[in-house]
Amino acid sequence: MKSTTGTERKPPAPPIEKGVRVIIPPLSSATTTVALSRNLTQLLDAFDTYVSNRRSSGTHPDPIDFINQHYSRESLLVAQLPEIRDAISERMNRLDDRISNALQRQSESAEATQRHVQDAKVNVASLEKRIRQVQTKASQSEKTVREITKDMKRLDCAKRHLQRTITTLKRLHMLIHAVEGLRQSCLLQPHPDYKSASHLVDATRLLLKHFASYTHKVEPLRLLSNKVDDLQGELKFRLVRGFRIIGFGVEKTQEFERKKSNFKSLVDPEEDPFWQVENESCDGSSEGHETKEIELPPMMTPDTMSGGILLIDAIGKEARIEFMTGVVQDYLVEYSKIYKPVKGQPKEKARVSSFMAQPDASEEDVKPEFALEFVEKRFLWFQTLLTEIQQKFPTVFPPYWNLEYHLTKNFLRRTHGHLLALFNGPTKDSDANNATILLKTLQKTIIFEKDVSSALQREYGVKFREAKNKDTKENAMNAGPNSRGRSSVNKKTPTKNIEDQSDANSDDGRAPTLQEPVDPLLGVASSAFDKYMRPYIDLEEMSMDEQLRSALEDRTVDTRGNYPVYTSSTKLFVYIKGSITRCTALTKGNTFYLLHKAFKDSLRKYSRVLSSKLPPPLPQKSVGPLNMPPVPFANKQLQDTTPAQIASYRVPTGEEVTVCHVIGTCEYCAETVEALEDLIRDTVDGTFKSKIDMMATQEAFHEITAKCIRILVSGMENRLEEPLKTMSSTNWAVFAEVGEESDYVRAMHKEIQPFISTARGLIPKSYFQNFCDKFALGFTTTYYDTIVRLKAVSEPGSQQLLLDVYNLKTLILKLPVLEKSPVSTSTARKATGSTIAPAMYTKMVQKQFKKIEFLLKMTGTPINLLVDVFKDQWHGGTVHDLQQVMSLKGIQRGQQAKLFEKFGLDPVQARKGAAANVTSATIVSEKFQAVQDQASRVDMSQMKQRVSDFRNAFR
């Protein structure tokens, strides 16, 4: 199709997807605008794109803006209006045609859809009708089948009930037959057939399960169940009697049966041949009467007893526990009779060597069988008991019963109770406070626990359970208080013990036959000693105190290490290590914890022993921080931080070696205490691990070390008092000629060099550096104060002092690296390490001497240049420093006021400061007097408490 202008129209552009913004390049050139305006199809497409873009960006389309973009002149638009109108009409016609075609297609498809819906409705109605017909036929068929099978269901129900009745009758017949067989087995002579009875017990138990719901409702079944219980009880009774006869004899068995027992017989004692033996034996003693001899049945053979064990297992776990409880109680009755502590028990003579004369035994020398000294007899008695049981019952008790283990554990528990009674209470043993007897008894008890555990594993196949999270002794300690009240025969103890090992039962009601691990025996009896080992702790403390007493005068030094230490310290730690070895071989519980406390106490005492070797402090003239009088022109920080006088020490010649040995010993002790703490924490029982703390003990040695450093610093400073007095007594105001270093400087060299070199070879490097830091700081401060206190210094005097300061500065800088002097003690080690002083130390010393040098340089400066030079060279110098310089120069007060004004001070303040004429010496004197006046009012105890609280806050 062609337009009215004769040009061929192009197909419409593809539609633009919604949401896509098309960016049209600007039509700025006239050529592009004219070309686009001539191609009306592209123009309309561009308008569509413009409208879409504006709407997608949320802006209302503006046709005028579009026209302005595409037509630069109105004449062009007017010229093309007809063509544009035709193009728009043509596009509208095409759109109308498309809409018409679409409506026609939609109408046709709607008619087809309606026809399809009508057809579907007809088909659904037909299907529904067919479904209803099928349902009706199904209901009729079901009714027909139900009528046909009505009689068959009745027959099936009758058959099912008949089969159940037949099965029940068969089971009832089997139950009656099994009960009768059990009765026949029980009546067999001379002993019941226990092996057959065990099978019948299994059968009756399984059969009775089927009648469990009818036992209480049907009387015959209840009687039958009771009869089974009675027969089982009779079998158990005769089995227990047979075991007792083999183990203890007839008379002992009768004695057991007279007492209250869990096993009862169905036979009347008057008809029981076992009891007729005793009656006939009593009647046979009468003269003139004939006695009828009644023979007892023969003893059970091992096979018969093994069958009895099978019977007990068949009856169930409770029967096994009851049987084992009775066996354990029977065999330990004699033990309680002999060794249970009783007040007023008959005593035996103490052991005396056959080579010694036999003295007359007094009442105090005789001790009972249950005494601590004879604890070994208990263990020999039990070993004999195990041997007898093994001989009388060979291969009878199966390994999974662990009978020997339960017997041993109950024996140890009773021994635990007996020992507690011997340690405390009315039956307390006279040797309970004897450390030697206690240690021997504890050692024998632990050895027995270890030996019997090994024997049970080796000979009886007992498997011990490994302790988890807790030590074996800790488990025993937890059981200790519970067994304290069971010092006598306790019927519940073995029962509870056996129940712990047999907590699993099989589904058929039989006792389990799988051998299970059991708790270890180590500590069951020996744990009784833990709370009563105080005599042993006292003995160890006495031994350590004896070493401490010998250490007071012992000054022997061990030089084998990096630095010399007192041999008394190494001996003390060797003894502590041996004590730990001895104690942990016996116990790691409460006793070891108490011993660790004794170690801490002895080590603190040893720290005081080391402190006693130090020189005593000199009498103090003033103590504590006091309020100083105000210093003119001094800043507030200087007045607030005036150092308080502390304790002063005088170290005689050679005594510095002793102080150094104390430092080395304290360092060795602190390091060893830390290792000792780790060793004890790793060894002690878990209950006490968190309580192990030896930090206070380490702190005690660190405090002694700090005190030694202060003593060395104070001692060195006191040795320099004479040279400083010489310096102060020199009249520097008339000093006229500068020469070599002054005499007081050479005297200081002679005092400092041997002292420092000796200390360097005897103490650790870190402590030596600390000593050098404190001494250098204290010396420079004292030297500065000494210069300030000089009355007047001439210019040559200041030059001489500068020379002296240079020599002293060189010496102080070399302190950390001074070599050991040739003449020194034999115990000093050769100092090794760097020959260069630490940078921080060098910086500190240079800073301190720099202030001294500035002071002396300013003192030698002419008065007319003093203020200018002071401002230029002494950076940070204060008015107070300037006043000190003027005091050293001896400047008059009027001239000082002028210099203060030149320095920049207010004239009023300048005149006030100059009028005060307060020299540095006057200031120091006033401070000293103020300290002296208030010294008596200082509460030393309160001050120490504050220091202690401050330290504790950082721990």
Three-class secondary structure of residue 464 per DSSP: strand
For residue 738, the tally of other CB atoms under 10 A from its CB is 14
Mean predicted confidence (pLDDT) in 626-643: 39
Q: How far apart are CA 476 and CA 527, in angstroms?
A: 6
pLDDT band at 364 (very low <50, low <70, confident <90, very high): very low
The CATH number of 534-615+650-702, from 1.20.1740, 1.10.287, 2.30.30, 1.10.357, is: 1.10.357
Instruction: Please give the C-alpha separations between residue 118 and each of 111, 130, 348, in angstroms, as whole numbers.
Output: 11, 19, 123
Mean predicted confidence (pLDDT) in 532-547: 90
pLDDT exceeds cutoff 80 at 420? yes
In the chain, % of residues over pLDDT 70: 75
pLDDT exceeds cutoff 50 at 644? no
Instruction: Please give the C-alpha separations between residue 686 and each of 468, 477, 677, in angstroms, as whole numbers.
Output: 11, 12, 15
Q: What is the pLDDT of residue 160?
A: 87
Q: What is the pLDDT of residue 198?
A: 86
Instruction: Please give the C-alpha separations between residue 172 and each of 206, 224, 225, 669, 844, in angstroms, as whole numbers.
Output: 12, 10, 12, 86, 109
pLDDT exceeds cutoff 80 at 833? no
What are 393-417's pLDDT values in tens digits?
A: 888 888 888 889 999 999 999 999 9
Q: What is the pLDDT of residue 292?
A: 46
Instruction: Please give the C-alpha separations between residue 785 and each of 773, 834, 852, 920, 935, in angstroms, as whole numbers.
Output: 18, 33, 10, 8, 22
Q: What is the pLDDT of residue 344?
A: 62
Q: What is the pLDDT of residue 749?
A: 93
Mean predicted confidence (pLDDT) in 629-634: 38
Mean predicted confidence (pLDDT) in 637-647: 48
Mean predicted confidence (pLDDT) in 298-308: 86
With both helix axes pointing from N to C terminus, report the angle between 590-612 and 695-719 in degrees, rounded to the nearest 10: 0
Q: What is the pLDDT of residue 291?
A: 43
pLDDT band at 200 (very low <50, low <70, confident <90, very high): confident
Q: Retrieve residue 581's tokens.
A: 């070895």
pLDDT exceeds cutoff 80 at 227? yes
pLDDT band at 45 (very low <50, low <70, confident <90, very high): confident
What are 134-145's pLDDT values in tens digits?
A: 999 999 998 888
Q: Give yes or no for a contact between 891 and 863, defined as CB atoms under 8 angstroms apart.
A: yes
Q: How far apart are CA 296 and CA 299, in angstroms?
A: 9
> C-alpha dihedral over 475, 481, 484, 485, to 10 degrees?
-120
pLDDT exceeds cutoff 60 at 224? yes
Q: What is the pLDDT of residue 894?
A: 72
More confident site: 530 or 913: 530
Q: What is the pLDDT of residue 907?
A: 59
Q: What is the pLDDT of residue 485?
A: 37
Mean predicted confidence (pLDDT) in 103-128: 87
> C-alpha dihedral over 599, 602, 603, 604, to 10 degrees?
120
Q: Retrieve residue 792's tokens.
A: 């007047």
Mean predicted confidence (pLDDT) in 207-226: 83
pLDDT band at 34 (very low <50, low <70, confident <90, very high): very low
The continuous run of DSSP H or E covering 859 comes out as: helix 839-859
For residue 210, the tally of other CB atoms under 10 A from its CB is 13
Q: What is the pLDDT of residue 39?
A: 80
In this structure, the chain runs to a length of: 955
In the chain, % of residues over pLDDT 90: 26
Mean predicted confidence (pLDDT) in 454-474: 72
What are 893-911's pLDDT values in tens digits?
A: 777 777 777 777 665 565 5
pLDDT band at 619 (very low <50, low <70, confident <90, very high): confident
What are 673-697's pLDDT values in tens digits?
A: 999 999 999 999 888 999 999 999 9
Mean predicted confidence (pLDDT) in 825-841: 64
Q: What is the pLDDT of residue 469?
A: 44
More confident site: 485 or 902: 902
pLDDT exceeds cutoff 70 at 293? no
More confident site: 791 or 835: 791
pLDDT band at 27 (very low <50, low <70, confident <90, very high): very low
pLDDT exceeds cutoff 60 at 483? no
Q: What is the pLDDT of residue 272?
A: 54
Supply the DSSP string of 639-686, one letter for each residue.
Answer: HHTPPPP---B---TTHHHHHHHHHHHHHHHHHHHHHHHHHHHHHS-G
Instruction: Please give the C-alpha separations between residue 751 and each of 712, 756, 810, in angstroms, as whole numbers.
Output: 13, 9, 15
Q: What is the pLDDT of residue 723?
A: 93
Q: What is the pLDDT of residue 25?
A: 43
Q: What is the pLDDT of residue 823?
A: 38
Q: What is the pLDDT of residue 567?
A: 93
Supply the DSSP string of 860-911, one letter for each residue.
Answer: TS-HHHHHHHHHHHSTT--HHHHHHHHHHHT--HHHHHHHHHHHT--HHHHH
- Give yes or no for a cis peptide into 190 (omega within 30° of 0): yes
More confident site: 577 or 189: 577
pLDDT exceeds cutoff 60 at 484? no
Q: How far apart are CA 755 and CA 748, in angstroms?
A: 11
More confident site: 365 or 648: 648
CA atoms within 13 A on the CB side of 509: 15
What are 778-803's pLDDT values in tens digits?
A: 999 999 999 888 888 888 888 999 99
Three-class secondary structure of residue 348 per DSSP: strand
Q: What is the pLDDT of residue 625?
A: 36
Q: What is the pLDDT of residue 562?
A: 85
pLDDT exceeds cutoff 50 at 333? yes
Q: What is the pLDDT of residue 748?
A: 93
Q: Give yes or no for a contact between 45 and 84, defined as CB atoms under 8 angstroms apart.
A: no
pLDDT band at 274 (very low <50, low <70, confident <90, very high): low
Q: What is the pLDDT of residue 943?
A: 55
Every domain range in the chain assigned CATH 1.10.357 = 534-615+650-702
More confident site: 508 or 570: 570
pLDDT exceeds cutoff 80 at 478? no
pLDDT band at 16 (very low <50, low <70, confident <90, very high): very low
What are 695-753's pLDDT values in tens digits?
A: 999 999 999 999 999 999 999 999 999 999 999 888 888 877 787 888 999 999 999 99
Average pLDDT value over all residues in the chain: 77
